[in-house]
Amino acid sequence: MDMLDEFMDGPERFGGFSSGTLTVVLTCALLSFGAGIASRRMIFPRLMDALSKIDGPYVSRIEDGNPFAPKSLRWMVVFFVMWYSLDWLSAMVVLDEGGLRESGPVWDAELMETVMTVAWGGFVILVLLTAYRLVDYLDAFIVVEGDNMAARRSLASVAESIGRLAVVVVGFFVVAGLFGVNLNGLIAGLGITGLALALAARDSVANVFGAISIIVDQPFNVGDWIIVEDVEGEVVTIGLRTTTLRSGADTMITIPNSNITNSPVENFSHRRFRRIRPSFEFEEDSNAAQLRQFCESLCEQVLVDPGLPSPRTRGSVSLRLFHRRSRFQPTSTALPQARPRGSSLRTSC
């Protein structure tokens, strides 16, 4: 410490700074940038790999394949290290009885106080911005039973919505405090207006509880193909207020969560098998014995199919024969209208 104090001592040369003090401040700035780059490119990826609950590198779960942390994390570390180093240097200042400096850095005290204030304010704001960006990495810490990645994605979708909302609410109060707003009066005002907002936002509250119900009951997960309220599509996201589906026409459909919880949901992704009902057409004068033989051959092919689950049960094939007879309307333009008529044939296999 004595060596550093001796190095920073000297006459003022550059805007109230001694040459030694200016060198130390610039060194602190370089160290701050170095710490920011190292935290984003080295420390953060290794922490994610060590703490992640998913198998393999966490980068595989990031859409853009970027293994580094958000850039806001780098600047957050830069501002924090800069503020901490300047605060540590300012603590070395010792004044005599007359208020004159005896030891410590030789610099413009008012300027450095402003720099430290800006650094601290920037650090706080960047903490909120970084927290908002890091919400995207929550799925790496979500634990589910087994390897149910669909459940993980569904829970991560809601967790990210809740995390962003929490960061925005906390950030509002923190930024208000930085600008000197009276938080006691603000909180009291929110208590009065909270009831009015709750009454006006009943549907939004119902949608939030609907999202919680979807996550708890898990009638579907992200990636499932469902039908709800005559809307069919693949579940893309499950948010706090709405659930988004991608239809077969590649359009995005948004459904409020309260509507989903109050409606029957048909989930095609949970099917154990698919039932197929093929239709065959034959001539009216087809031989009944040959048709029965055809049905039996279909049964045999189904029973020997290796794709069927075991044990295989025997069933029956029903065949309904239709023959068409044209009927002409005397007042029409002689266009025939078919009236199906026919009989049934059933065989067991």
Query: DSSP states of 257-293 as a string?
Result: HHHHHTS-EEEGGG-S-----------TT--HHHHHH
Q: Which two tokens stand for residue 79?
A: 């501002």
Q: How far is CA 47 from CA 56, 72, 130, 308, in A?
A: 13, 17, 16, 46
Peptide bond into 311 cis (omega under 30): yes
Q: Which two tokens stand for residue 335?
A: 């266009």
**Residue 218 and residue 294 in one domain:** no
Instruction: Look up the CATH number of the domain holding residue 201.
Output: 2.30.30.60
In whole angstroms, what is the distance from residue 250 CA to residue 243 CA?
16
**Residue 261 and residue 299 in one domain:** no
Q: Which two tokens stand for residue 212?
A: 């919680």
pLDDT at 139: 63
The residue to which tokens 């009944």 are assigned: 288
In whole angstroms, what is the distance from residue 323 CA to residue 298 CA?
22
**Residue 233 and residue 303 in one domain:** no
Q: Does a structural domain hold residue 279?
A: no
Is 260:214 a contact under the CB 8 Å cutoff? Answer: yes
Q: Does a structural domain hold residue 231?
A: yes
**Residue 220 and residue 296 in one domain:** no
**Residue 128 and residue 157 in one domain:** no
pLDDT at 337: 42
Pairing state between β 337-348 and 225-228: unpaired
Angle at 165 between CA 228 and CA 253, to 5 degrees: 25
pLDDT at 328: 38
In whole angstroms, what is the distance from residue 318 CA to residue 292 CA?
10
**Residue 92 and residue 8 in one domain:** yes
Q: Find, among 265, 280, 197, the residue nearest to 231 by Cα.
A: 265
Q: Does a structural domain hold residue 277?
A: no
**Residue 235 and residue 339 in one domain:** no
How far is Cα of residue 245 from the mean position of the Cα atoms in its chain?
15
Burial state string for 77-89 with b = 16 or more CB within 10 A and e = fewer than 16: bbbbbbbbbbeeb
Is 24:7 a contact under the CB 8 Å cutoff? Answer: yes
Domain that holds residue 108: 2-141
Q: How far is CA 252 from CA 91, 242, 271, in A?
A: 58, 12, 24
**Residue 314 and residue 212 in one domain:** no
Is 266:258 a contact under the CB 8 Å cutoff? Answer: no
How far is Cα of residue 184 from the mean position of the Cα atoms in its chain?
34
167's CB contacts (< 8 A; 6+ apart) are 128, 131, 132, 135
pLDDT at 310: 58
Q: Does a structural domain hold residue 156?
A: yes
**Residue 304 and residue 246 in one domain:** no
> DSSP of 68-83, one letter per residue?
SPPHHHHHHHHHHHHH
pLDDT at 62: 44
pLDDT at 303: 75
pLDDT at 16: 81
**Residue 267 and residue 303 in one domain:** no
Q: Does a structural domain hold residue 257?
A: yes
In whole angstroms, what is the distance from residue 134 CA to residue 316 CA?
58
**Residue 6 and residue 59 in one domain:** yes
**Residue 135 and residue 21 in one domain:** yes
Count of domains forming the chain: 3
Residue 58 is classified by DSSP as G
pLDDT at 82: 93
Q: Does a structural domain hold residue 172?
A: no
Query: Where among 212, 240, 271 does a domain terminate?
Result: 271
Query: Where among 271, 300, 318 does a domain terminate?
Result: 271
- The pLDDT averaged over each successive group of 10 residues in the chain (349 residues) is 76 82 90 91 80 53 51 90 90 66 76 91 91 77 57 72 85 83 71 66 82 86 91 91 92 93 91 74 79 81 70 52 43 41 48
Is 62:134 a contact under the CB 8 Å cutoff? Answer: no
Q: Does a structural domain hold residue 323?
A: yes
Q: Find, among 18, 124, 138, 129, the residue nearest to 80 by Cα.
A: 124
Q: Does a structural domain hold residue 281?
A: no
pLDDT at 334: 40
In whole angstroms, what is the distance from residue 247 CA to residue 230 CA?
11
**Which residues is 346 bridged to in the sheet?**
318
Q: How far is CA 84 from CA 28, 80, 89, 98, 273, in A?
A: 10, 6, 9, 28, 63
